[in-house]
Structure 1
Amino acid sequence: MSQDSRHGKWAISSSEDDDEAIPLSGATTSQPRRPAASSQGPSQAATVEVKPEPAHTPVSSLAVGLEAGRPAATNQLNPSKYETGPSLAGKRKKEASDGSGWALSDSDDDDGDVKGKSLGKKAPPSPKAKKPKVETERPPSPYGRLYIDDPEDFFESSFPCLSDTYRFYLNKVTGLDRKYNSGALHIRDILSPLFGTLKESVQFNYCFDIAWMVKQYPSEFRDRPVLIVHGDKREAKARLLQQAKPFPHIHFCQAKLDIAFGTHHTKMIMLWYEEGFRVIITTSNLIRADWYQKTQGMWMSPVFPRLPAGSDERAGESPTFFKRDLLEYLASYRAPEIEEWIRRIGEHDLSEARVYLVGSTPGRYVGSDMERWGHLRLRKLLNDHADPVPGEERWPVIGQFSSIGSLGLDKTKWLTGEFQRTMTTLGKSSLRPDTPMHLVYPSVEDVRTSLEGYPAGGSLPYSIQTAQKQLWLHSFFHRWKATATGRSHAMPHIKTYMRASPDFTQLAWFLVTSANLSKAAWGALEKNGTQVMVRSYELGVLYVPSAFNMKTFPVHKSPFPVSDSAGFPVPFDLPPTCYSPKDQPWIWNIPYSQAPDTNGNVWVPS
């Protein structure tokens, strides 16, 4: 079957169906194959174990693989070939060898779409096949200078210069000019003793490399208790527990995932200090690749002080009811391991929080409970706390994400129906305008010319099986361009949603979240709109101008180096750049062999 569209022509097997999870062994071969799903036996070169959870597909530590690490070895003169296994349905976790592996993450699909993990291979330039050789070296820099893991000035040795107005930060990216990392944070900075004297922590996430995570804690805190909240089951859970065996201070809490194809996708860090309590809500997995050359975002709270002894448990609330909503979100896990953290939070003063919490938890909800989670939660907040703006019908919605689920046979099934109604809500106005919607998602050229090259596409798991069913979606797509933040070549793993003025100088609201563009993450109405079904755990924070005593947020056009500007630091360029007729959205399980990437590689799914 072939599909033509303005943004690409693809050929796939007519037997491929994204309603079935198709396992793949992860075999590598010396010859490229068509990107049809297959059920091959394991290769001598590489074997991948899978579990049938197709919504997200991490491989936290393959010696060679894909979510963002590096090619095994590259040759700038002779393109290397990356033969990929495109249709992995599950996820695999394994200890990394010094962070040199790649992993896949954040593939979002709500109806069992086929997702894949790719195994890289260095192919010699001669036509004669040779046995693949696994290397652990970093590729040469495409910009003419060598990378080193931890430059001396990469991690803060003094309190970093941060903008406290919004407390929204980007991550540090290896390979960028120094000014573009000023005011950005690495996980080592977040866990630094400069931010507090750590007693215990909890890490909510989707994908983990335990050994790497432990190394990010400063030596003086490295044996402090850590609770890991995850969604792994069966074999994946066993592998995660195996990773932690050398670390007796690590304990686990398994999130309940009772609805098919749901995932525990929330990415949150809670830190309990001698000085108080802090929350960080981020978009990064706990693997090295996610903190290396990707664009990520986070909200980091101030240190919340302890309440006076004997205070009412409802004391210390913020005007945004952040404390109440955080406690409600944690209670939704129904997990005894989290009860102690619920008690601790109750003992702290969270009144300085100026953001609203927007979470998703798995379930089917009716009545007033429909507005507790997912996009209906966002709709409720925008209805109650956002202010109408003049000419709002001309204020476009902008969505930016790293993965896409099945959204229906046409745009009205979900995207421009219930989802757009949520995104266009501004106060109690009855106006529900059919406003423009700009969706920012990297093109093939964006990926090809990125710092990582084609392997960056492993964190952008939009599959051919999904794409060919929703060609209508691609007319909404805009390029990933981020010149103001220096991150045009650092592919996005961040997810943001906002409402902008027609001239893109003002924002009516801004959201940073773990939620990609999928019904699994945001929820979908059922039974004639009387019920909403949510599959996954997600978490984000909503910025509304009224919480900052503003009418709208001015857009900060040049957020680096950090300043005290009142402008909001949008992480990509506005206005968004629409795809040209020659642009194609990145599809991760079809070949790209016509033009090598910045590291001299081509991409050939197997």
Structure 2
Amino acid sequence: MSQDSQHGKWTVSSSDDEDEALPSSGTTTIKPVSNLSSSQSSLNAQLEAIMEVKPEPATIPASSLLIGSEARQSAAMNQLNPVKFETNPSLAGKRNKEVSDGSGWALSDSDDDDGGANGKSLSNLPKRAPPSPKAKKMKVEKDRPPSPHGRVYYIDEPEDFFETSIPCLNDTYRFYLNKVTGLDRNNNSGALHIRDILSPLFGTLKESVQFNYCFDIAWMVKQYPSEFRDRPVLIVHGDKREAKARLVQQAQPFPHVRFCQAKLDIAFGTHHTKMMLLWYEEGFRVIILTSNLIRADWYQKTQGMWMSPLFPRLPEGSSATAGESPTFFKRDLLKYLVSYRAPELEEWIQRIKEHDLSETRVYLVGSTPGRYMGSDMEHWGHLRLRKLLYDHTDPVPNEERWPVIGQFSSIGSMGLDKTKWLAGEFQRTMTTLGKSSLRSDPPLHLVYPSVEDVRTSLEGYPAGGSLPYSIQTAQKQLWLHSYFHRWKANSTGRSQAMPHIKTYMRASPDFTQLAWFLVTSANLSKAAWGALEKNNTQVMVRSYELGVLFIPSAFNMKTFPVHKNPFPVSSSSSGFLVPFDLPPTSYSPKDQPWIWNIPYNQAPDRHGNIWVPS
């Protein structure tokens, strides 16, 4: 069965499977295009002139090719093994024109495709990449593997990229973006790199725990300052079988690294939480973030993090309830850690009990795998968020005009129509404001990068490796794409750094105020947020996720003012840093959401590459 959409025509699968779709098998080839425009060549020359190019290691560990989703692995593999080839300049011009015409999904690799009603279906996609013109060997520079991006790909961070003094931080909300290589210094002002977070400027580290989804152990260890590099580190992960064996093998050179495997007893679940627990001589700190522990996530992507204050140790003999915050952050963090049922976390649970977390002004929103009934339903997932919004926010005038905005880097299967989950239970949660009986139906804006956003990004098409929305999932929910809005961050100078951050918020009609804001590891999926079952008497959650919720009342405010020009950061600003432009920009009929496992071969990215899965 086929369905037409303003965003393309697809053949729709007859499968009614509601489970999270796993990426299909196959590889992705990133092919450099030799006929770069003169303006692109000029841009590359300017970049090379103003930025110091430093060599990368001559070899890259094979284990790095097995980290993360299949989309990430394909991007990594083909960045290391690019195919340099010549194309016919007139043919390339034709491809550019076809893209600008916005003639639907780039499913066909034919240059003679008339785009008529008899377009190719998904089942007719080429099984292999089309024959390429005569291949040319790339000139490999000394001590550096070949790169499909040219020398600019190997730009390293400048000397002042990492802080030598405590950076200018906005401590009102303690919400920060990451530093992005390739942006000017102003647009990295107040942002943090992982090396900044682990810097001795924030404390004398004794031990740490790293909760995450993807790990490059050797890279992670190098991010710790040399004086802390042998301090004990506990890795909390969800890998099983071969993936677990590879992770353990990565850590063999590092005897101070230990492991804790998170229990994943429900199919299609992942350990997606990203958190650091840092124990210092001076106290204790929590970092909740959106970045994996791999270099690519800290290089040219937009990420977010909440950094707690330094929590001091409680006096000896303090009561069990001492050190609690008005948001009950301590109680909820302990409950989250207990949910792992892991002996390796027991000493950390005890350490947290011994510290004063009373300065915390955010609420913890977590997901842990399981099926929950009764009052337990409100402990995890989107029902946890609904409960917090019900208890701690207040209704606003004309609230039906206050849009909900969701922004994410991956999308799960949500059913054949919007009522199955998105516009039902999930939207009810997102539109909750206090104890109002009004069940408003405000606009819902979903911010997700278009193909053009990815193509013109700092990384080019390889940025799509961390946006793993698959054709198998997308073809079953064409209805979803009418909600989509472009990834634009012009006011912050970060439009070109594709998002791996995930944020959800409720904004005023003029987008100058926020009723609440959430930064989290949770993408738009039932696995992450949970789904009601058994006539709404039970909720089932598949994955571990974690985020923090900012509610104005915890900051003695009625709403959060939106910071229109957040860079450079001012420590005195009361404006909230939204990582993309408001109001969001709707997709045009020519725009298409990024799908990682279909070809984009009609126009090169900024590095002269195309994207062809095979």
Query: In structure 2, do the counterparts of structure 1 residues 251 and 49 end up closer, same or farther at CA, with 3 Å as the change threshold?
Result: closer
TM alignment of 1:8-407, pairs within 5 A? 8-10=8-10, 24=25, 26=27, 57=69, 64-65=76-77, 72=82, 127-128=133-134, 136-138=145-147, 148-407=155-414
| 2:541 counterpart of 1:534 | yes
Q: Which moved further from structure 2: 335-344 or 462-471? A: 462-471
Q: Secondary structure at the match of 1:194?
A: helix
TM superposition shift of 1:314: 1.5
Give the aligned partner of residue 117 of structure 2.
Answer: none
TM superposition shift of 1:136: 2.8
The one-character-per-residue Cα deviations of 1:82-106 (angstroms, maximum 9, x if unpaired) are: xxxxxxxxxxxxxxxxxxxxxxxxx
Give the aligned partner of residue 112 of structure 2.
Answer: none
TM superposition shift of 1:23: 6.3
TM superposition shift of 1:138: 4.9
CA distance in 2, matches of 1:478, 1:530: 34
Q: 1:506 aligns with which of 501, 513, 525?
A: 513
The one-character-per-residue Cα deviations of 1:388-416 (angstroms, maximum 9, x if unpaired) are: 11111110000000000001111111001
TM superposition shift of 1:28: 6.5
Whichever residue aligns with residue 315 of structure 2, its letter is P
Kept in 2, the 8 Å contact 1:70–1:455? The answer is: no
TM superposition shift of 1:147: 5.5
Q: 1:444 aligns with which of 448, 451, 466?
A: 451
Whichever residue aligns with residue 590 of structure 1, its letter is I
TM superposition shift of 1:313: 2.4
CA distance in 2, matches of 1:568, 1:444: 29
TM superposition shift of 1:18: 8.7
The one-character-per-residue Cα deviations of 1:270-300 (angstroms, maximum 9, x if unpaired) are: 1000000000000000000000000000000
The one-character-per-residue Cα deviations of 1:195-254 (angstroms, maximum 9, x if unpaired) are: 100000000000000000000000000000000000000000000000000000000000
TM superposition shift of 1:319: 0.4
Give the aligned partner of residue 4 of structure 1.
Answer: 4
Q: 1:591 aligns with which of 592, 599, 612?
A: 599
TM-score by length of 2: 0.83
Q: Would you say how many aligned residue pairs link Structure 1 and Structure 2?
A: 546
Give the aligned partner of residue 95 of structure 2.
Answer: none
Query: In structure 2, do the counterparts of structure 1 residues 72 and 152 end up closer, same or farther at CA, with 3 Å as the change threshold?
Result: farther
TM superposition shift of 1:325: 0.3
Kept in 1, the 8 Å contact 2:600–2:611? The answer is: yes
Q: Secondary structure at the match of 1:201?
A: strand
Kept in 1, the 8 Å contact 2:83–2:135? The answer is: no
Whichever residue aligns with residue 454 of structure 1, its letter is Y
RMSD between aligned residues: 3.3
Give the aligned partner of residue 570 of structure 1.
Answer: 578
Kept in 1, the 8 Å contact 2:303–2:501? The answer is: yes
Q: Secondary structure at the match of 2:548?
A: strand
TM superposition shift of 1:329: 0.2
The one-character-per-residue Cα deviations of 1:133-191 (angstroms, maximum 9, x if unpaired) are: 9983456589xx78622210110011111110000000000001110001000000000
CA distance in 2, matches of 1:157, 1:279: 22
Whichever residue aligns with residue 128 of structure 1, its letter is K
Q: Secondary structure at the match of 2:196?
A: helix
TM alignment of 1:382-531, pairs within 5 A? 382-531=389-538
Give the aligned partner of residue 610 of structure 2.
Answer: 602
TM superposition shift of 1:312: 1.3
Structure showing greater Rg = 2
Query: In structure 2, do the counterparts of structure 1 residues 326 and 22 end up closer, same or farther at CA, with 3 Å as the change threshold?
Result: closer
Kept in 2, the 8 Å contact 1:199–1:225? The answer is: yes
Kept in 1, the 8 Å contact 2:457–2:495? The answer is: yes
TM superposition shift of 1:24: 3.2
Whichever residue aligns with residue 337 of structure 1, its letter is E
Whichever residue aligns with residue 383 of structure 1, its letter is Y
CA distance in 2, matches of 1:432, 1:405: 26
TM superposition shift of 1:128: 3.3
Whichever residue aligns with residue 266 of structure 1, its letter is T
Kept in 2, the 8 Å contact 1:73–1:136? The answer is: no
CA distance in 1, matches of 2:318, 2:221: 35
Q: Which moved further from structure 2: 369-378 or 556-565? A: 556-565
Whichever residue aligns with residue 260 of structure 2, its letter is C
CA distance in 2, matches of 1:568, 1:229: 31
TM superposition shift of 1:9: 2.9
Whichever residue aligns with residue 519 of structure 2, its letter is V
Query: In structure 2, do the counterparts of structure 1 residues 18 and 352 end up closer, same or farther at CA, with 3 Å as the change threshold?
Result: closer
Kept in 1, the 8 Å contact 2:408–2:501? The answer is: yes
Whichever residue aligns with residue 376 of structure 2, its letter is D
TM-score by length of 1: 0.84
Query: In structure 2, do the counterparts of structure 1 residues 585 and 383 end up closer, same or farther at CA, with 3 Å as the change threshold?
Result: same
Q: Secondary structure at the match of 2:365?
A: strand
Give the aligned partner of residue 38 of structure 2.
Answer: none
Q: 1:582 aligns with which of 582, 590, 601?
A: 590
TM superposition shift of 1:72: 4.6
TM superposition shift of 1:126: 6.3
Q: Secondary structure at the match of 2:437?
A: coil
Whichever residue aligns with residue 366 of structure 1, its letter is M
Whichever residue aligns with residue 592 of structure 1, its letter is Y
Kept in 1, the 8 Å contact 2:31–2:84? The answer is: no
Q: Secondary structure at the match of 1:65?
A: helix
Kept in 2, the 8 Å contact 1:70–1:138? The answer is: yes
Unmatched segments (≥5 aa) in structure 2: 33-60, 93-127
Q: Secondary structure at the match of 1:507?
A: strand
TM superposition shift of 1:77: 8.9
Whichever residue aligns with residue 127 of structure 1, its letter is P
TM superposition shift of 1:127: 1.6
CA distance in 2, matches of 1:522, 1:391: 28
Q: Secondary structure at the match of 2:490?
A: coil
CA distance in 2, matches of 1:78, 1:183: 46
